[in-house]
A and B are shown apart, each in its own frame.
Chain A
Amino acid sequence: MKSGGVRNGTRAAITAPHLRTDRWWLAPAMTAAGLLAFVVYSTWRAFSNTDYYAAPYVSPFYSPCLAENCEPMRNGPNWEVFGSWWGLSPALIVLIFPLGFRLTCYYYRKAYYRGFWASPPACAVAEPHKKYSGETRFPLILQNIHRYFFYAAVPVAGILTYDTVLSFRDEHYAWGHMGLGTLVFVVNIVLIWAYTLSCHSCRHIIGGKLKHFSKHPVRYRAWQLVGRLNDRHMLLAWASLVSVALADFYVYLVASGAFDDPTFF
Chain B
Amino acid sequence: MSSYEARFKVWRGDVAGGGLEDFGIEVNDGEVVLDIIHRIQATQAPDLAVRWNCKAGKCGSCSAEINGRPRLLCMTRMSVFMREETITVTPLRAFPVIRDLVTDVGFNYAKAREVPAFVPPDGLGPGEYRMMQEDVDRSQEFRKCIECFLCQDTCHVVRDHEENKTAFAGPRFLMRVAELDMHPLDAAEESGLDRKKTAQDEHGLGYCNITKCCTEVCPESIKITDNALIPLKERAVDRKYDPLVWLGSKIRRRPSGPA
Contacts and interface: CB of A to CB of B under 8 A. Distances in A.
Interface of A: 3-6, 8-14, 18-22, 106, 109-110, 113-114, 119-120, 123-127, 129, 131-136, 140-141, 144-147, 200-201, 203-204, 208-216, 220, 230-231
B197 to A, nearest CB: 13
State the main secondary structure of chain B at its contact with A.
Answer: mixed
Interface in B156-186: 156-157, 159-164, 182, 184
Contacts, number: 167
B3 interface: no
B97 A135 contact: no
A245 B161 CA distance: 39
Given A3-B162, A200-B230, A12 B97 contact: yes
A132 B157 CA distance: 7
A214 B134 contact: yes
A144 B156 contact: no
Interface string B205-216: 011111111001
Contacts of A135: 206-209
Contacts of A215: 259
B159 A19 contact: no
A119 B209 contact: yes
Q: Which of B13, B159, B160, B164 has the most CB of A within 10 A?
A: B160
Interface of B: 11, 13, 15, 17-20, 65, 67-70, 85, 88, 90-91, 93-97, 103, 132, 134-135, 137, 154, 156-157, 159-164, 182, 184, 204, 206-213, 216-217, 226, 230-231, 233-238, 240-242, 258-259
Given A11-B93, A20-B68, A204-B234, A209 B161 contact: no
Nearest to A118: B156
A208 B234 contact: yes
B85 A21 contact: yes
Contacts of A11: 93-97
Given A5-B161, A132-B157, A136-B206, A220 B13 contact: no
A212 to B, nearest CB: 5
A5 B95 CA distance: 10
Contact of A131 (B13, B94, B161, B213): B161
A3 B210 CA distance: 24
A12 to B, nearest CB: 4
Given A11-B97, A141-B206, 4 more contacts: A106-B210, A106-B230, A124-B159, A216-B259
B160 A127 contact: yes
A19 B160 contact: no
Nearest to A145: B241
Contact of A14 (B93, B94, B182): B93
